[in-house]
Structure 1
């Protein structure tokens, strides 16, 4: 059997005996979580009585799943041997087992590839780099009729999806939750840990080896500013003021996500970010209906410059299609992305966010980060393009494209937990 290749360490064996239907494992680097997770899927696929068992391994990016996991899956299944458990399909990253079971690899950056399937078991790896809605909106429903299981494994990267799922699991006795710090497991010897501690920043070491959720996200553009917003009480309940217009800023995706922020400019140069919406694979008519359903009194709608591009199929631009649906867009100036990022940095200290309605957008603002070149050991000049990009791009278009005539100077920043927007009436 392929499992002869996998001999679980002490802590891996503990996990295997403790797993529940839903489990969260927060592990330090080099813990062996990939080997653990792959073998959980292989064991479930090969030992099931169901001839149509389906399992999934989900990484943050499809390319990452292929690079990190695909060869390991084949190796643990015994590829090249007479006892090989499965037949492998390279183009689909799919393993078909002799008993009819199937394991497939996916990337979280393409939620549509996961819709419409059923699953008996799923493993999320590096959950901190994924949006939580992949679980709540896409995968959880896919497990329901089969009463399937899920395992979440990752190393912290701030307070994001992994942190939220970890906290929820700790409060729910039906879940299994475990944290494995390098100082406790002794998997990495003490000399190596001491060397790593000398070479890494304290925040990096605490995050990667001691599983700290409070350490800063490496290369995050707005991490400190979002932390200050949290500390100053500006991520809270922010009510809609029906006497003021609601402005929107959009990032328009074709095959991927479209993001919309809903903003009210308040007296004194502050901005109430009252709402956020994101969806994938929908036409403009869908978003026009969302605007109608929210029933705000709208002001300016801001779109990126490429909304003017004519589509091959219709010969019409999305600007023209939107106008036909009653949405008249102002076009954000086409400026270098770094200038747009700086505009967001300037704007954020004046923003108050509704913590509930803007949750998905806030997650993106916290985790939008520069690319890191491991070979050069340095950050790149451009941001990583991933699930955070759509929300941040839309916010960037607001930062560079919105102009409020007669707006006064921004008020001085203070340590303030009073919410000036909390007493306003909610939209009925």
Structure 2
């Protein structure tokens, strides 16, 4: 049998790719690379997978934000310079025992290793052996919950993870960079640290100024000059400024952050009920926003993405947190559950929840309700809420290549589910009625009205008598 040298076809990293490749060869198990467009990020990582598969037998994943995107960008992609499939340049057919095109799966010869191209949109439903090496490609667009789910697995088995991306605003990827830079990899003093790198075209000189300007003119024709300049800065100069292109709510969230209505710590007020807003689906597609309404202001206090398919588990989690307010749910809660005549509405009531259906409106009306809510809401500083906000930032429209404009249709990915639940919150929070606990010695409760105001249930005489008592007590 002929000997196969890996990387195959005499592949070598380019000079600017060499530091990342060398760090990986020296044992670095965590990399975060912000490299400009067409810098060869995926090619480097495909070759890392090929070498690693024979150095350490195991399961390897190359993960993109969506499975459909993974098929187009990696599995079926053709290298325009060679005319060959990029996959076979890293994995020559002579080392492949078998392939499954539907599953985008490869089993290697002479070693118990496999490679699969997958999407982070279904990270928690992938089956098989736990991975020992993962590439998170286009990480800035991926579901950050994928890493939260998979990182304990790699920590336990000593596997590696490489995050490769271009910037997409100041989102979870930028936050990861800020933290990882403080834990820098060193093969001697800190072998468990991170290798991080931000490379723009000014650093690599890999793309000519003329080519970039041609791209700028093309973007200008598609999106206008302002958006074109932003795209060029993001994709070629690795700028972190600006919202995600096509984002429904990104600009308004940025304004809320500047106004300190996002990311400021505050406590949950125990006098007010915590309500919930749901986007009913399977576990990973059913995020739940938790909120209070106080003095006419919606306060977003928690966010929950279930990790099981059991609706009872979701209710148990909410009960354990003490969230016993109304559960605002879409109308499809009335659909019978598979194989039964019972609905999810019945199940929620069985578990002591208080489901209330939100009126049916158009996508545009729901999006506007979400937008108007972001303009007035306060978001509590908490890790789970931060994860939810990343979904709101990433909620964006599809682009129509034929009509050269954005469609009024959201991209169907993880962020769309986060946003769907928030649309229901936007439609429901003014309906939320929260009772305030009666202060000691007072008669009657204070009740928040549907318009957000708070009114006393006391009569005028009772209120005057209470005022006189307080004044006398203050003497």
Give CA-to-partner distance per residue, 1:17-67, whole Å, 9 cap, x none: 133211111011111111111111011113x1x4x4221111111112222
Instruction: Pick the aligned partner of 1:77 from 86, 91, 99.
Output: 91
Alignment match, 2:377: 351
Q: Quick one: higher RCO (CA 8 Å, sep 6+), 1 or 2? A: 1
Alignment match, 1:33: 41
Q: TM-score normalized by structure 2?
A: 0.80
SS at 1:91 equivalent: coil
Q: Distance in 1 between matches of 2:50 and 2:452?
A: 63
Instruction: Pick the aligned partner of 1:325 from 345, 351, 354.
Output: 351
Confirm or deny: 8 A CA contact 1:257 1:280 kept in the other structure. Answer: no
Give CA-to-partner distance per residue, 1:115-163, whole Å, 9 cap, x none: 77422211110001112221122x2122133211111100111122321
Q: Distance in 2 between matches of 1:93 and 1:332?
A: 40
Alignment match, 2:60: 55
Q: Distance in 2 between matches of 1:159 and 1:32?
A: 23
Within 5 A, what are the aligned runs for 1:15-414? 15-19=20-24, 20-46=28-54, 48=55, 50=56, 52-71=57-76, 72-79=86-93, 83-98=94-109, 99-114=111-126, 117-137=129-149, 139-173=150-184, 174-200=193-219, 201-235=228-262, 236-254=264-282, 256-267=284-295, 269-296=296-323, 298-356=324-382, 357-402=384-429, 403-404=431-432, 405=449, 407=451
* Structure 2 CA distance for partners of 1:328 and 1:12, relative to 1, 3 Å: same
RMSD after superposition: 1.9
SS at 1:171 equivalent: coil
Report the structure number with the largest CA radius of gyration: 2
Q: How big is the shift at 1:92? A: 2.2
SS at 1:358 equivalent: helix
Alignment match, 2:8: 3
Confirm or deny: 8 A CA contact 1:309 1:317 kept in the other structure. Answer: yes
Q: TM-score normalized by structure 1?
A: 0.88
**Stretches of 4+ moved more than 4 A in 1?**
none
* Structure 2 CA distance for partners of 1:280 and 1:336, relative to 1, 3 Å: farther
Confirm or deny: 8 A CA contact 2:283 2:305 kept in the other structure. Answer: no
Confirm or deny: 8 A CA contact 1:302 1:398 kept in the other structure. Answer: yes
Q: How big is the shift at 1:7? A: 3.8
Confirm or deny: 8 A CA contact 2:278 2:288 kept in the other structure. Answer: yes
* Structure 2 CA distance for partners of 1:199 and 1:314, relative to 1, 3 Å: same
Confirm or deny: 8 A CA contact 1:344 1:396 kept in the other structure. Answer: yes
Which stretches in structure 1 are left out of the alignment for 5+ residues? 410-428
Which stretches in structure 2 are left out of the alignment for 5+ residues? 77-85, 185-192, 220-227, 433-448, 454-475
